[in-house]
Structures are given as structure tokens and as C-alpha cells.
Amino acid sequence: MPSEPAADSILERLAPQRWPLPLDRLPKETALVGGAVRDALLDRLKPQPDLDLVVPSGALALTRSLAKGLGGRCVVLDEERDMARLVLGEWTVDIARRDGPTLEADLERRDYRLNAIALPLHRPEQLIDPTGGLEDLQQRRLTAVRESNLTDDPLRLLRGLRLMAEIPLTLDSITADWMERHRQQLVRAAPERILAELQKLVAGPLADQALVQLTRLKLVEPWSAGQPLPTAHHAAQLTADERERALPLARLTALISDQGLEQLKASRALRQRCRRLRQWQHQLPPDPATLAEAQRVQLHLDLDRDLPALALQLDPTRQSSWLQRWRDPKDPLFHPATPVDGSTLQREFNLAPGPGIGALLMHLRQERAFGRLIGRDDALEEAHRWIKRNRDAL
């Protein structure tokens, strides 16, 4: 980042001509603030950056008018504070009424100095930076604007560390003290918002460093699982796609307990993924080969898509072997499948629906997983033998 970035060059990076929102539809005192300005200064803009606009007044009415005129959708974020979101295709534009008599006053009320920089859209001669955000960006430093700003919206405590997971930043020592002092305030934030920040944090390219600070400051203590956190070092043998899926899941599982995920309103699917991973992390012996066959099949059924997250705890040699086998979709143990379906079994052997069919399918899956049958004919012969032995179960 240049020491004195020119506002017009930042506007050029932002390329407003690509936005689905013409600038001439906006009030003359509209300013772009927050993440898009910060990321433009760092030259790390996404192709479709999330845009945050501040207008002097009437944000909700403006958003509704723009949605109607541009064929988009208006989502009310906070009616009392006059904040709304304009959704235009894959773009989102948050529009808020200025908080205070001037733009500078609004920026003084924001969370961190690097987020308190504004670019006036109709007079982009200079950036508005009343708190020293440009210096913080230059020094790659995370500094809160003031202590009370963090407690005004306690989610800001967590958002700062999420930024550290995405951008190489050092945490200002005074800001760290404020975070630790007010960590118990985080429970006041909406649980869904807390979880959303945590999911972004554990997926960040610099999550390891941010999680060290998160643990030291005890920000998520009310929901903590208290388990050792896996790092990118443990995922060295994973491909980029595998790391993108496995590391965030493993980190979140180690960070937040099952009860904590429920309190944070995690989806049923996410809770199930974390619960199954946690169970197998605890159950897996040092030598997985000592697991009973039925357990081994169940492991691969439970973690069919998430096995790399479990592999993070294996020694490098075993991890390499497991990953190679898991990458082969035809491996009968690592991707256990039944050679025939339940309908076929009912039709061939005149069986009634019930739990016995499930037990038979599990048996056939296990036989196939360990190479004792191959193909449909083998499966039907084995099914016939199993039915004779277990007629009472059917």
C-alpha cells in the first residue's frame, strides 16, 4: 500500500462502472465506508465486493426506491437505525443513515480504525480518515477506535480477530486489553452473528494466528470445547480443496462444544458433522487397524465426506495412506456402499420392510468393504446365507 494513497486511484480499483448501482442514483453526500475501502487500499478486493454506503438520511426509503427501480430486493436490517440491504443479483449493497452530524462523526463511532476510512463518491479528491486508519493499514495493525465502540456492539470483539484471520495484522496491546476486559459482553450479541463470525474466522488463511489470540483472550469461553486446535501444519498433506473443507470443520469442532453449537443456533447439519467428528476423534485408537470391522465401516459411513478432518490427528505415514485411499471413490472400505439395494432384497427374497433389511444391508456393506464379496451375484448369495441364519430377525 502506498504511503499516501490517492483517493482517485482507490476509486479506480473499486471500478464503480462495474457496480449494478449507478452513482447518479445516489445522494451527493454518499460515501463508501468499511471493508471495501480497506480492501481496495490493500489491493485485495473481491470481484464483487460487499459495498457499505453511508447517506445523510432516508437510507431505508432510498434502498426501497433503488430496489424498485433497478429490479432488486430490499432487506431491512435495522428500521430504527435506518439501515437496509440492497440485493442486486450477486451483489449486496448495505445502505445506512449517517450516525452523527458529519461523516467524520460517523467514522468515529466505528469499530476499528482500519474500517473507519471513507471515500466520498461524488467528490473523491481525498479519503476521509479521522481516526488514523491509513497509518494502521500501513503498519498492518488492528486498533479499536475507542473502548466504548467495542461494547456498543460486542460482536466487534470477535470481528477484530476474524479480520486478523483474513489479513496479516498485529493486535494493538491496548485493544487486546479492552477485548479481554469485555469478553463476557459477547454473550449479548445475537448467537447467529457470533457463529457466522466464527465460521469466517476458522476458514481464514491466517486462522492459526487469530485462534491463538482468541484462545488467549478467552472470547468464546461460554461455548468452548477446550480441545487442542489443529493447525495448517497438520494439513500439509491435504490438497487445497481438502484443506478448505477439513480445517475449518476440525477447528470449529475443537473450539466450540456440541452444547455451544446448539446455543449458537448452528444448523442441524453442522452440529451433526461436528458431533460425529468429535466422537471419532475420541474413539480412534492409536492404531485404527485394531478397530472392529463393524466400527471401521461405521467410521467411514459417518465421515464419508469429512474423513480428512479426522486424518489431521493421524501420524504422517498413516495420514498419507488414509488420504490416498479416501481419494479413490471406488475404495470399498473408505467409501462403503451396499452392492444391492433394499428394494432388490425385498423382491428377491420376499422380505417385508423393517429393521431387518437395514441389518442385512449393513452386513453386505461390511462384507464388501473387506473384500469378501464382489458384485451383485456374490451379494445375493451372501444375503441368502444371512437370511437363513437370521430368519427370526426378519
| 123 confidence band (pLDDT: 50, 70, 90) | confident
Is the confidence at residue 313, as pLDDT, over 70? Answer: yes
| 5 confidence band (pLDDT: 50, 70, 90) | low
pLDDT of residue 386: 95
Interval 317-324 mean pLDDT:
96
Query: What pLDDT digit, counting tens, does each position of 28-82 carry?
Result: 999 999 999 999 999 999 888 989 999 999 999 999 999 999 999 999 999 999 9
Interval 119-140 mean pLDDT:
91
Residue that has been written with the C-alpha cell 480518515 in this structure: 129
**Three-state secondary structure call for residue 119:** strand
Is the confidence at residue 392, as pLDDT, over 80? Answer: no
- Gap between the terminal Cα atoms of the chain: 72
Is the confidence at residue 7, as pLDDT, over 80? Answer: no
Is the confidence at residue 125, as pLDDT, over 90? Answer: no
Nearest to 10 by CA among 93, 119, 91, 103: 119
- Residue 78: its H or E element: strand 73-78
**Which domains are seen in the chain, by residue range?**
1-139 (3.30.460.10), 342-393 (no CATH)
Least confident of 4-8, 18-22, 46-50, 256-260: 4-8
DSSP state of 128: B
What percent of the chain is modeled with pLDDT above 90? Answer: 90
Burial class (CB in 10 A: 0-12, 13-18, 19+), 316: exposed
**Three-state secondary structure call for residue 5:** coil
**What is the amino acid identity at position 293?**
E
Cα dihedral 97, 101, 104, 110 sign: negative
| 126 confidence band (pLDDT: 50, 70, 90) | confident
Is the confidence at residue 350, as pLDDT, over 60? Answer: yes
Angle in degrees, 0-180, between the axes of helices 173-181 and 155-166, rounded to the nearest 10: 140
β partners of residue 84: 76, 95
Nearest to 293 by CA among 362, 340, 358: 362
Cβ count near 46 (within 10 Å): 9
Residue that has been written with the C-alpha cell 468429535 in this structure: 278
Beta carbons of 32 and 52 less than 8 angstroms apart: yes
- Enter the C-alpha cell of residue 272: 451433526
Cα dihedral 53, 57, 61, 66 sign: negative
Least confident of 41-55, 188-202, 248-262, 321-335: 41-55
What percent of the chain is modeled with pLDDT above 70? Answer: 98
- Name, in order, each residue with C-beta under 8 angstroms of 82's C-beta and a sequence gap of 6 or more: 57, 58, 59, 60, 96, 97
Is the confidence at residue 301, as pLDDT, over 70? Answer: yes
Alpha-carbon distance 192 to 275, whole Å? 19
Mean pLDDT for the chain?
94
Query: What pLDDT digit, counting tens, does each position of 77-114 carry?
Result: 999 999 999 999 999 999 999 999 999 999 999 999 99
| 316 confidence band (pLDDT: 50, 70, 90) | very high
Q: Estimate the share of the chain in helix, then strand, then coil, as percent rounded to the nearest 5.
A: 55, 10, 35
Is the confidence at residue 2, as pLDDT, over 80? Answer: no
Range of 17-21, 250-254, 337-341 with top mean pLDDT = 250-254
- Return the ∠ at Cα 203 (arms to 202 and 209), rounded to 5°: 55
**Three-state secondary structure call for residue 141:** strand
295-304's contacts with Cβ under 8 Å and 24+ in sequence apart are 296/333, 296/369, 297/333, 297/336, 297/362, 297/365, 297/366, 297/369, 300/333, 300/334, 300/335, 300/336, 300/369, 301/336, 301/365, 302/276, 303/276, 303/277, 304/335
DSSP state of 28: T
Interval 358-385 mean pLDDT:
94
Helices (H), 53-154: 59-70, 103-108, 133-139, 147-152
pLDDT of residue 368: 96
